[in-house]
Amino acid sequence: MAKEKKLVEAITSMEDDFAQWYTDVVKKAELIDYSAVKGCMIIKPDGYAIWENIQHELDRRFKETGVENVYMPMFIPESLLEKEKDHVEGFAPEVAWVTQGGLNTLQERLCVRPTSETLFCDFYRNLIQSYRDLPKVYNQWCSVVRWEKETRPFLRSREFLWQEGHTAHATAEEAEERTIQMLNLYADFCEDFLAMPVVRGRKTEKEKFAGAEDTYTIEALMHDGKALQSGTSHNFGDGFAKAFGIQYTDKENKLQYVYQTSWGMTTRLIGAIIMVHGDNEGLVLPPKVAPTQVMVIPIQMQKEGVLDKAKEVKERLAKVCRVKLDDSDKTPGWKFSEQEMRGIPLRVELGPKDIAANQCVVVRRDTREKIQVSLDELESRIPELLEAVQKDMFARAKAHRDAHIWDAHNYEELRETAENKPGFIRGMWCGDQACEDKIKEDFAVTSRCMPFDDQEQISDVCVCCGKPAHKLVYWGKAY
């Protein structure tokens, strides 16, 4: 019991210390463990099952748009990494280098992939010869390494899991279309599946991906008012194609360069789920992504017939949702706390009185609401409740997000907001990087994105320098 007690007691409240609350949840909900390798995490069964659900659903959505999966080597020869100038400058300072293979020193060192643009380009250079070979819409699921100095589980770790899509197209228009298509796919996935509202937009020159012509992003708002970049989609134009010599013969038999994109989502999403939905009792998982959606907990389990009935309920529910039965020898109270800590969306309480009344008590993790459900209606009511939880969680997260978007029209308003109001700050920007730098320097606030869906001009001058400005920017403190 000592272990369980600790589980429930030791969680810091998010109002006291949000960072510590996050660390507590990650550990106590048994999502990760620390490893012998600094900055690399062990993803435990509950954490990995969330990733499997994300992966399964994203992969299904990818394939509907014609994506094919491949697997590229995890190593990149230094000379290949260096082929595109901006790209190598962006990544070289943070890669891990293999310098010895077996008992020998390598002639050329190999970096462990931080991302695979260069490998895909090298591959496409050979693969694509004619317009008939286009488009190529490939993706891989793998792990990547970035030698970060400060690390936090899921949010920033030296190794993380992700998918990286890499495409090649005949025209610039088609590449742009695919870039936006994947950004929208990401946004829909976050909203539908993770119940997490996002802002879609374009990154500024300063914030875009190393080597990209344009980077698009989805930004989500965490419970503490900080932004989390949750997925990015890059249009490379023909820059990589020119650096790597990826050319095809068009219908008129002329040599042309291809146009490329890449797009990725990572295990960082698990951090986002925690920080968007979690509360002071622990994790709260949206039903669609929850490895276990319903936990059946028998009350007075020693009484005749209770455990049998609980098993029967579990078997019946297994046909309509992902359900488990907790028949361990812990007290019901501990089981409730554990189910809450692990974020399981519904628990079904079933005791002798419930059985006598042919009912059970269903408790929602998100609202704590208790609902009496007739055992005759289990198979219809539980899926309905799961749907309601999913829908309500999105609505609450959206209301929270919308209540934390502030407009700033000048530098004083920006200062006032950045210092006192957690959330996104909307402010006009003149387009000069000096203003971005100054805002970051003064308030630790960065440009998150220039939204698509907002042609609104909230003023006609830059929130920083006061010069004429036409671009609306979402600013925010970021993870």
Span 96-155, contacts to a second copy by CB under 8 A: 96-103, 109-110, 112, 119, 122-123, 126-127, 129, 138, 142-143, 145, 147, 149
**Which tokens in the block code for residue 444?**
């630790």
Span 200-219, contacts to a second copy by CB under 8 A: none
Q: What is the rounded CA–CA span in Å between residue 14 and residue 424? A: 20
Long-range contact set of residues 34-42: C-beta below 8 Å, sequence gap at least 24: 37/158, 38/151, 38/158, 39/147, 39/148, 39/151, 39/157, 39/158, 39/159, 40/157, 40/158, 40/159, 41/153, 41/154, 41/157, 41/159
Q: Is 31 in the site for a second copy (CB under 8 A)?
A: no
Q: Is 68 in the site for a second copy (CB under 8 A)?
A: yes
Q: Is 48 in the site for a second copy (CB under 8 A)?
A: yes
User: Whose Cβ is closer to a second copy: residue 138's or residue 257's?
Assistant: 138
Q: Is 71 in the site for a second copy (CB under 8 A)?
A: yes
User: Whose Cβ is closer to a second copy: residue 97's or residue 379's?
Assistant: 97
Residue recorded with tokens 């609104």: 456
Taking the complex as a whole, the smallest distance from the CB of residue 459 to a second copy amounts, in Å, to 42
Q: Is 95 in the site for a second copy (CB under 8 A)?
A: yes
User: Whose Cβ is closer to a second copy: residue 96's or residue 465's?
Assistant: 96
Q: Is 44 in the site for a second copy (CB under 8 A)?
A: yes
Q: Within a 13 Å sphere around the CA of 353, how many CA atoms are in the beta-carbon half?
A: 4
Q: Within a 13 Å sphere around the CA of 8, how many CA atoms are in the beta-carbon half?
A: 12
Instruction: Tell me, by CB under 8 A, how many residues bind a second copy.
Output: 55
Q: How far is CA 128 from CA 65, 66, 177, 248, in A?
A: 20, 18, 20, 6
Q: Chain centroid to CA 12: how far?
A: 24
Within 146-213, strands assigned E span: 159-169, 199-202
User: Whose Cβ is closer to a second copy: residue 20's or residue 35's?
Assistant: 35
Among 5, 10, 19, 37, binds a second copy (CB under 8 A): 37
**Which tokens in the block code for residue 159?**
């190794």
| H/E stretch holding 141 | strand 136-145
User: Whose Cβ is closer to a second copy: residue 68's or residue 402's?
Assistant: 68
Residue recorded with tokens 């990733």: 51
Q: How far is CA 12 from CA 15, 20, 279, in A?
A: 9, 6, 10
- DSSP string spanning 365-413? TTT--EEEEEGGGHHHHHHHHHHHHHHHHHHHHHHHHHTTEEE--SHHH
User: Whose Cβ is closer to a second copy: residue 248's or residue 424's?
Assistant: 248
Q: Is 74 in the site for a second copy (CB under 8 A)?
A: yes
Taking the complex as a whole, the smallest distance from the CB of residue 191 to a second copy amounts, in Å, to 26
Q: Is 265 in the site for a second copy (CB under 8 A)?
A: no
Q: Is 40 in the site for a second copy (CB under 8 A)?
A: yes
The interface region with a second copy, picked from 38-46, 196-204, 431-439, 445-453 by CB under 8 A, is 38-46
User: Whose Cβ is closer to a second copy: residue 133's or residue 281's?
Assistant: 133
Taking the complex as a whole, the smallest distance from the CB of residue 311 to a second copy amounts, in Å, to 17
- Do 77 and 110 contact (CB within 8 A), yes or no? yes
Please choose, from the candidates 273, 282, 272, 284, the residue with its C-alpha nearest in 3D space to the C-alpha of residue 364: 284
Span 369-388, contacts to a second copy by CB under 8 A: none
Q: Is 295 in the site for a second copy (CB under 8 A)?
A: no
Q: Is 70 in the site for a second copy (CB under 8 A)?
A: yes
Please choose, from the candidates 184, 192, 222, the residue with its C-alpha nearest in 3D space to the C-alpha of residue 62: 184
Q: What is the rounded CA–CA span in Å between residue 28 and residue 54? A: 21
Taking the complex as a whole, the smallest distance from the CB of residue 182 to a second copy amounts, in Å, to 18
Q: What is the rounded CA–CA span in Å between residue 254 and residue 248? A: 8
User: Whose Cβ is closer to a second copy: residue 32's or residue 194's?
Assistant: 32
User: Whose Cβ is closer to a second copy: residue 70's or residue 318's?
Assistant: 70
Find residue 323's DSSP bridge partners.
Answer: 294
User: Whose Cβ is closer to a second copy: residue 163's or residue 217's?
Assistant: 163
The interface region with a second copy, picked from 95-103, 163-171, 207-215, 224-232 by CB under 8 A, is 95-103
User: Whose Cβ is closer to a second copy: residue 125's or residue 398's?
Assistant: 125
Interface residue list for a second copy (CB under 8 A) = 3, 33, 35-37, 40-45, 48-49, 51-52, 68-77, 80, 93-103, 109-110, 112, 119, 122-123, 126-127, 129, 138, 142-143, 145, 147, 149, 158-159, 161
